[in-house]
Structure formats: C-alpha cells, structure tokens
C-alpha cells in the first residue's frame, strides 16, 4: 500500500560522487572503538518506513537516517553550525542525474560521530538541506528531524549488516557483532543473492522483469519498491494512477502510480507477480552492470525480513 510520502527521498540514492572512496579513507583516520554493550545498534522505524539511528555528532545528540541509497554521509546544512561542523572549503559536484542543475554541495569535517555507543571517529560529510525531511517514530509517535544520513561510505568502511525486520544495524569494529545474526539466517535457509557496490556508490542487485535484465538499487531510504516509467513501459506493466507524489532532495514532486508486474526476479529467485510503484526515475549511474530498473525499497525489505550484509555483499530475505 502506497501512502503519502511514498518516497520523500526517491532520488537521494543518486547522490553519487567520486568522494565515496575518499570519504571511506578519511573516516578510517581515527580508529573506532568497539561498543561494550549489546552488539548492534537499535533503530527506530518511522511511519514513512525510514530507519533512524540515535547518534552523537561532535558530542551533540542527533537523529540520522540509515540509507543504503546514499553514497555519502550527509548532515543537514541548516544545522551544521549548531552541530559544531567545520567547513572545509571543499565542494563536491552533485551529478545531474538528480536534477539539481549542477548544484554544488559543500563539504564539512566531523570530529566525532558515534552511532549508538560505537565511535566511528572523524571524517568528511556532505552538507545538504534536509530541513523538510523528518519522521514520526512508530514506537513513540514522536516526530524527529532528519539531522543527517548515514551513507554507504561509512557502512562500507565498517562492514555494516542491517537487520530490517528487527531494526538493528551492526557495525564491525574490533569484533564481529553480526556473526550470530548471519549464522541464523543461513541456518534458516534465507534466500541469498549477491550484491555489488558500484564505483559510483550504488548498492546494486541483479533483477529480471519480464524477459529483461536490470540492475536495481537496494535502498533502505526508499519507502517503496519503485520501477521507472521507461522500464514499466518496456515490460507492459499496467499502471493505476494514484494521488501519491514522490519527492527527493533538490527535486520536484513527481506522481507515483501503482503497477503490477507479471514476474519479478531478484537474483535467481522468482517472486511472481509483484506490486510496485511506478514513477519517473532519472537515469541510474553509468557503472551499473545492467540498465537501471528501479529501487528495492523498504516495503520489500521489511515484509521479507531482509538482512543486508554490506561486508560480504549479500542480500538475504525470506
């Protein structure tokens, strides 16, 4: 079922830049220390299907979304000063794929970032206006601001494993806190498909729609699984109009239809007819293995009890 904010940040997965490798390197400058509490960090799920993590940035509390669709870690530009961020005088060019008219995004430096009780050290972040994005937590009903986004650069550096159903993220520091979780999903014979992290920072999985092969991006920040209008038309997917609009950072709202695929396959697993959102997605990164087809969003990840193993580049689901 698609609701009002079907993709507050549908296009955020395409904030890909060449800074991904640089950011991962710089975040490694200050060593991390392992948490001494229960392994993993508890996440809170919003009514918009975002996963929020409690963080401390430069010793100040904040809420960050956990987003495998964002290549870089981001801090809300309007809160950078309050959070004690230092502007580096560097800038990163946001690709045209997210239709920001070549907008330049400044970069700042974080002295310390703690996710739960795990200190990830210091490193660069992109400053982007997130003031219009917030979430209402399902557990408490409280609204929280999206002060920032934990992107794929940090997740890759710390070998993150995300347990979507149990709302927990494991970051590898001095030990392997996700060991028991991965042993469990393997013993229960979860479906397992390979993931690939493209140079551009896209977390891609091979899919088939109809008789055509595509790369979809696994996006925990996406409210729903989405197929581009072009791909839906190529495969004869019937689309029903809705009142839902998709909106991403620096982009205009776009209508989202409801489509029913005759067959969707992820990896080697055929899912059969599948309900998906259909909208005007931009062209995907050029370094995907196959043509860009869309996003694997939170609806699939939660309902299928998905575990995203970024360390070993595997996607598990029921």
In a domain, 138, yes or no: yes
The helix (run of H) or strand (run of E) holding residue 121 is none
Is the distance from CB of 283 to CB of 27 less than 8 angstroms?
Answer: no
Nearest to 219 by CA among 306, 95, 89: 306
Tokens 């200190």 — which residue? 119
Q: What is the mean pLDDT of residues 161-169?
A: 95
Q: Which of 187, 221, 252 is the last residue of a domain?
A: 187
Higher pLDDT, 200 or 312: 312
In a domain, 1, yes or no: no
pLDDT confidence band for 282 (50 / 70 / 90):
confident
The structure's pTM equals 0.83
Measured over the CA atoms of residue 87, residue 88, residue 90 and residue 95, the dihedral's sign is: negative
Is the distance from CB of 279 to CB of 256 less than 8 angstroms?
Answer: yes
Is 302 in the same domain as 238?
yes
Is 124 in the same domain as 143?
yes
The number of beta carbons lying within 10 Å of the beta carbon of residue 194 is: 13
In a domain, 3, yes or no: no
Is 177 in the same domain as 60?
yes
Nearest-angstrom CA–CA distance, 299 and 79: 30
Is 130 in the same domain as 169?
yes
Residues 120-134: tens digit of each pLDDT: 888 888 888 888 888
Q: Which of 125, 156, 187 is the last residue of a domain?
A: 187
Is 124 in the same domain as 246?
no
Q: Which of 187, 212, 244 is the last residue of a domain?
A: 187
Domain count, the chain: 2
pLDDT above 70: percentage of residues in the chain: 81
Q: What is the mean pLDDT of residues 84-96?
A: 59
Residues 250-271: tens digit of each pLDDT: 567 788 999 999 999 999 999 9
pLDDT above 90: percentage of residues in the chain: 52
In a domain, 5, yes or no: no
How confident is the model at residue 309, as a pLDDT? Answer: 97
What is the domain extent for residue 293? 191-317
How confident is the model at residue 94, as a pLDDT? Answer: 44
Provide the CATH number for the domain around residue 46.
2.40.70.10
Nearest-angstrom CA–CA distance, 71 and 18: 9
The number of beta carbons lying within 10 Å of the beta carbon of residue 275 is: 14
Is 208 in the same domain as 161?
no
Is 166 in the same domain as 259?
no
Is the distance from CB of 10 to CB of 217 less than 8 angstroms?
Answer: no
The number of beta carbons lying within 10 Å of the beta carbon of residue 81 is: 11
pLDDT at residue 12 is higher than 50: no
Residues 20-45: tens digit of each pLDDT: 443 443 444 344 444 344 578 999 99
Burial code of 129-160, b = ≥16 C-beta within 10 A, e = fewer?
Answer: ebeebbbebeeeeeebbbbbbbbbbbbbbbbb
Radius of gyration of the chain (CA): 18
In a domain, 2, yes or no: no
pLDDT at residue 66 is higher than 90: yes
Is 91 in the same domain as 195?
no
Is 255 in the same domain as 293?
yes
Alpha-carbon torsion angle 253, 257, 261, 266, nearest 10: 20
Nearest-angstrom CA–CA distance, 161 and 309: 4
pLDDT at residue 115 is higher than 80: yes
Nearest-angstrom CA–CA distance, 318 and 306: 7
Is 235 in the same domain as 124?
no
How confident is the model at residue 11, as a pLDDT? Answer: 30
The helix (run of H) or strand (run of E) holding residue 111 is none
């Amino acid at each position: 079922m698609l609701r009002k904010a079907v993709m507050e940040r549908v296009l955020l997965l395409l904030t890909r830049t060449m800074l991904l490798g640089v950011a991962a390197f710089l975040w490694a400058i200050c060593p991390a220390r392992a948490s001494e509490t229960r392994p993993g960090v508890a996440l809170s799920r919003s009514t918009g299907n975002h996963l929020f993590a409690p963080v401390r940035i430069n010793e100040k509390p904040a809420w960050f979304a956990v987003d495998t669709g964002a290549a870089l870690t981001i801090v809300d530009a309007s809160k950078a000063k309050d959070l004690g961020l230092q502007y580096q005088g560097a800038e990163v060019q946001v690709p045209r794929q997210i239709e920001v008219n070549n907008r330049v995004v400044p970069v700042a430096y974080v002295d310390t970032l703690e996710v739960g009780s795990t200190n990830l050290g210091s490193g660069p972040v992109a400053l982007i206006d997130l003031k219009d994005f917030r979430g209402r937590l399902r557990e408490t009903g409280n609204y929280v601001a999206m002060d920032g986004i934990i992107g794929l650069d940090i997740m890759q550096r710390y070998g993150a494993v995300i347990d979507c159903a149990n709302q927990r993220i494991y970051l590898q520091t001095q030990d392997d806190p996700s060991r028991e979780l991965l042993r469990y999903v393997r013993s229960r014979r979860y479906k397992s498909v390979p993931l690939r992290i493209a140079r551009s920072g896209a977390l891609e999985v091979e899919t088939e729609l109809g008789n055509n092969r595509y790369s979809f991006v696994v996006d925990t920040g996406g409210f729903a699984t989405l197929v581009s209008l072009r791909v839906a038309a190529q495969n004869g997917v019937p689309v029903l109009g809705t009142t839902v609009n998709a909106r991403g950072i620096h982009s205009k709202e776009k209508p989202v239809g409801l489509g029913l695929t005759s067959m969707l396959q992820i990896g080697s697993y055929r899912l059969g007819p599948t309900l998906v959102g259909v909208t005007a997605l931009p062209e995907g990164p050029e370094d995907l293995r196959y043509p860009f087809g869309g996003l694997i969003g939170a609806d699939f990840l939660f309902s299928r009890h998905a575990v995203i193993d970024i360390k070993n580049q595997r996607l598990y689901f029921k």
